[in-house]
A = this chain, B = another copy of it.
């Protein structure tokens, strides 16, 4: 089913990728690597984007449900965010000092996020996650970190998903438990709780190559009880979900009480910024763990973040994303039924993920996404999707119309 030449449709993508393989290890590295999507049957390079529409380098256009893997929460090139960024850019971006925006943005986050008494800013999700772990270590005087097996928390040496280039010591204090596994969590705490600095959790579990899983309320209780009993900090990795589910942070809808939370993707609607916020008790430790980068104080991304947060709050964006996502998911289920197929939608509707029933190898998902891409709908076979506030009802309706042949091709090829 896969055209090894990439066909005419992705010709420029394939040509660029050939050039890239000469000068970049693996051609494309990281989360956008073709190896994680649908090699040769998907675009590899971007041309431009606007609103919820995305164009690849071959001129193919898509209704986009990946939103740059999360950052684009309001739609590409949102006029108000771009205007706020442009206004700041006329003053400059990167200076000898931070601008007043750094203070204003910290004040704004603390106003929005109920438990937050302070904030810091950086460039990557990994920056704030690894720094937060250090802050918890400094605060508790303990080394160990507990994380969910299969969770992604960035490329810090304590958590990066691959082993290549690591030393044995890098993972000496990282211990894993299973999502929603109360007994496993208790057992881990009973073994290492006295030396646990932090438990790290996403607000819902979104493993690559797997259904998303929501939090079991009884598990939330167990997390709080164990952390409180052993004096471990709870670090919320809200990098992927933050400000998409609740402008006040994703801990709220799930009843989590974190000590530190980390944000990144949606915070600047595509401008390069990440943040960590935390409780007062951790402020001294936070001031002691060294944290810097050449562009951590850059003002343009902070202006974009201020505008993005204001719009998310003003336009009640999380509720809109949920409603749009629900409509899209309902439509997909209905369409699947029309083709005699059964699909499962998991995760919050604002960040849905679809799998086909009774298969674990993702062959149907790959076929579905390859055909959807060719029909002008950008989806991912192995990673949760993202709804943006630029998706109007008409875009959802058009996307559902466009994915019909994708369901048809799955039905035809797999005769299920």
Instruction: Using CB atoms and an 8 Å cutoff, list the residues of chain A in contact with chain B.
Output: 16, 19-20, 23-26, 28-32, 43-50, 54, 56-57, 64, 66, 68-72, 76-77, 82, 89-100, 102-103, 106-107, 110, 117-120, 122-127, 130-131, 133-135, 137-138, 143, 154-155, 157, 160-162, 164-170, 172-173, 239, 264-265, 270-272, 274, 283-299, 301, 378
Contacts and interface: CB of A to CB of B under 8 A. Distances in A.
Contacts of A19: 103, 107
B45 A68 contact: no
A145 to B, nearest CB: 10
Given A30-B291, A292-B155, A123 B92 contact: no
A28 B97 CA distance: 9
A89 B271 CA distance: 11
26 contacts: A16-B100, A19-B103, A24-B102, A24-B103, A32-B297, A43-B97, A45-B97, A46-B92, A46-B97, A48-B91, A57-B100, A72-B94, A123-B123, A123-B124, A123-B272, A130-B157, A134-B165, A143-B168, A162-B289, A164-B288, A164-B289, A167-B173, A169-B169, A169-B170, A169-B173, A272-B298
A130 B169 CA distance: 15
A283 B30 CA distance: 15
A69 to B, nearest CB: 7
A253 B293 CA distance: 27
Contact of A25 (B28, B157, B264, B287): B287
Contact of A164 (B100, B103, B106, B290): B290
A76 B239 CA distance: 31
Which 4 A-B pairs have CB atoms at the shortest separation, nearest pair first? A30-B292, A134-B165, A46-B95, A48-B91
A272 B271 CA distance: 10
A155 B290 CA distance: 7
A47 B289 CA distance: 28
B95 A68 contact: yes
Contact of A155 (B160, B169, B291): B291
A168 B141 CA distance: 12
Nearest to A95: B46
A107 B167 contact: no
Nearest to A77: B92
A302 to B, nearest CB: 12
Contacts of A76: 92
Contact of A125 (B30, B167, B288, B294): B294
A159 to B, nearest CB: 11
Contacts of A24: 102-103, 106, 118-120
B20 A106 contact: yes
Given A43-B97, A45-B100, A272 B288 contact: no
A294 B82 CA distance: 19
A68 B45 CA distance: 32
Contact of A162 (B70, B157, B160, B290): B290
B102 A26 contact: no
B167 A270 contact: no
A291 B165 CA distance: 11
Nearest to A282: B25
Contacts of A170: 169
Contact of A286 (B25, B93, B130, B155): B25
Contact of A271 (B26, B93, B97, B127): B93
B124 A293 contact: yes
B291 A29 contact: yes
A378 B166 CA distance: 42
